[in-house]
Amino acid sequence: MSRIGNNPVAIPEGVTVDVNDNVVTVKGKLGELSQEFSTVTVKVEDGNLLVARSAETKEQKAKHGLYRSLFNNMVEGVSKGYTKELELVGVGFRANNQGQKLDLALGFSHNIVLNIAPEVKIETISEKGKNPIIKLTSHDKQLVGQVAAKIRSFRKPEPYKGKGIKFVGEQLRRKAGKTA
């Protein structure tokens, strides 16, 4: 029995959910998302989105909780939105944005210029004496995570000094250096 899949998804005010054929479309104040589904049944009752399975096959059991979580993330995304913050730790590491272009100086010979998807709002915060912060905001949880992972992949934090791009609040495993 999937405990996550059995929980109903509460639909807040201002959010509409449409179920047509095998596609769920969620519209809210921040945007619109749609997701295809299979092997489960989805219905809207009393302001809740219910996901149920018709049989006890292995595939249906596996996808029951998955689709419920995806639909919950969609509803939460179009009503509240998602934010990821990345911190650049290192001497001379800088981040600037002009519209949807992110310009990163990470100690390589050239700056890295990255075009960000239009659904993601990007903001760079640079204060004197503090590490630069990149703030990503969108209604699509998967897209925000994918963009944040791409930015982090340019310079992952190393375990000795902790230099690199890390998520705000992330705890790094540090290693002891050489002993003389």
- Condensed to tens digits (0 to 9), the pLDDT of residues 122-146 reads 999 999 999 999 999 999 999 999 9
Report the pLDDT averaged over residues 1-24.
Answer: 89
Continuous segment of H or E residues that includes residue 133: strand 133-138
Which pLDDT does position 59 carry in this prediction?
A: 87
The count of other CB atoms within 10 Å of the CB of residue 102 is 20
CA angle 76, 81, 87 (to 5 degrees): 130
Domain 82-167 in this protein, CATH class: alpha beta
First to last CA, the chain: 57
Q: What percent of the chain has pLDDT over 70?
A: 99
Quick one: pLDDT at residue 2?
64
Evaluated on CA atoms 86, 90, 96, 102, the torsion sign reads: negative
pTM metric for this prediction: 0.90
From the options 3.90.930.12, 1.10.150.120, 2.130.10.10, 3.40.50.10800, give the CATH code of 3-79.
3.90.930.12
pLDDT-derived band at 1 (thresholds 50, 70, 90) equals low
Segment 87-110 mean pLDDT: 94
